[in-house]
Amino acid sequence: MPDLNLLVTLDVLLTEGSVVGAARRLQLSASAMSRALARLREATGDPLLVRAGRGLVPTPRALELRDRVRQVVDDADAVLRPALKLDFATFARTFAIRSTEGFVETFGPALLARVAAEAPHVRLWFVPKLDKDSTLLRDGVVDLETGVTSKSMGPEIRTQGLFRDRFVAVVRKGHPLGRGKLTPERYASGDHVLVSRRGLEMAPVDHALEQLGLVRNGVVTVGGFGPAILLAGESDMIATVPERHTRSLWRGMHPLALPLDVPQFTISLFWHPRLDADPAHEWLRTVVVDVCRHDAW
């Protein structure tokens, strides 16, 4: 039977990248850690850490095992840890939530009110979401993330749907586009504020227009929904944004249903599986889901 204690040793070795550092963290002698590394090499059939100059670097096999070993160790720790019953009146912790523009403005007030009522010492840190990479979740930098599921996310990331949304065109009050029938041609020919993080993506709206042989008249590109809505509110330009996700940003403006067949999409909640069994994290997930699903619309 394999020695499962070696998994903890392997996790620390791959995290530290150093026999000395791993020995210090596990409170072992350097020679004992070297013997443990030898046993791991024999068990896995791979050197795992190899000399590079004065240090050690992981082999491709070690890199492949790192996240899997960390997950196994985290799961074992959760199984053996006594269940924690939280006293929300005294419980104190800061949670980081990563989201794109509009989420905090739309759902933040209700979310903060709910947290303050149930756990007054809990603090929230809202982190801007500039890409769809799940590294921050995997590394524990953020606790939760909201957005649309993408192929770039790690396969281990947990997902829960929050609400359905659709794209709408928002313009200033009194905008000419608000008068008369809005056709695909009228929509496409207007001056548009395009939203693109890298300036390269083709939005779902553009794919729908392409099927009709049309192209939006984009006059400026910005990196987020907030600047797009601000520019549209102060000009005759059109901003096309998620309706429910950003509604607090375009209050006082005129939303228009798109005259196009653009699929709706789901805004979801994401977290790393190592936090599945964490009672505090589970509570926060429930709060976010409740706020988003029952927020007035």
pLDDT tens track for 17-49: 888 888 888 888 888 888 888 888 888 888 888
- Residue 65 corresponds to which amino acid? L
Do 248 and 175 sit in the same domain of this protein?
yes
Provide the CATH number for the domain around residue 208: 3.40.190.10
Asked whether residue 292 carries a pLDDT value surpassing 70, the answer given is yes
Question: Token pair for residue 166?
Answer: 């659709």
Strand intervals (E) in the chain: 49-52, 55-58, 93-99, 122-128, 144-147, 158-165, 167-171, 191-195, 217-222, 238-242, 254-257, 265-271
Do 69 and 181 sit in the same domain of this protein?
no
Do 183 and 253 sit in the same domain of this protein?
yes
Question: Does the CA dihedral 95-101-103-106 come out positive or negative?
Answer: positive
Do 182 and 235 sit in the same domain of this protein?
yes
Do 136 and 258 sit in the same domain of this protein?
no
Show Cβ contacts of residue 114 under 8 Å, excluding neighbours closer than 6 positions: 287, 290, 291
Do 219 and 249 sit in the same domain of this protein?
yes
Asked whether residue 167 carries a pLDDT value surpassing 60, the answer given is yes
Whole-number Å distance between alpha carbons of 8 and 18: 15
pTM (predicted TM-score): 0.69
Q: What angle do CA 243, 186, 205 make, to 5 degrees?
A: 40
Do 272 and 145 sit in the same domain of this protein?
yes
Do 74 and 105 sit in the same domain of this protein?
no
CB 1 within 8 A of CB 7: no
Do 60 and 122 sit in the same domain of this protein?
no
Instruction: Tell whether 87 is covered by a domain.
Output: no
Do 203 and 69 sit in the same domain of this protein?
no
% of the chain surpassing 90 pLDDT = 55
Q: Which of 34, 53, 80 corresponds to the end of one domain?
A: 80
Q: Identify which of 71, 72, 69, 60 has the alpha carbon closest to the alpha carbon of residue 49.
A: 60
Do 72 and 208 sit in the same domain of this protein?
no
Asked whether residue 277 carries a pLDDT value surpassing 80, the answer given is yes
Instruction: Tell whether 69 is covered by a domain.
Output: yes
Of these ranges, 6-10, 129-133, 230-234, 291-295, the one predicted with the greatest mean pLDDT is 230-234
Domain boundaries, position 38: 5-80
pLDDT, tens digit (0-9, with 9 covering 90-100), for 53-85: 777 888 888 888 888 888 887 777 766 665 567
So what's the pLDDT on residue 2? 62
- Domain total in the chain: 3
Do 25 and 137 sit in the same domain of this protein?
no
Whole-number Å distance between alpha carbons of 209 and 187: 10
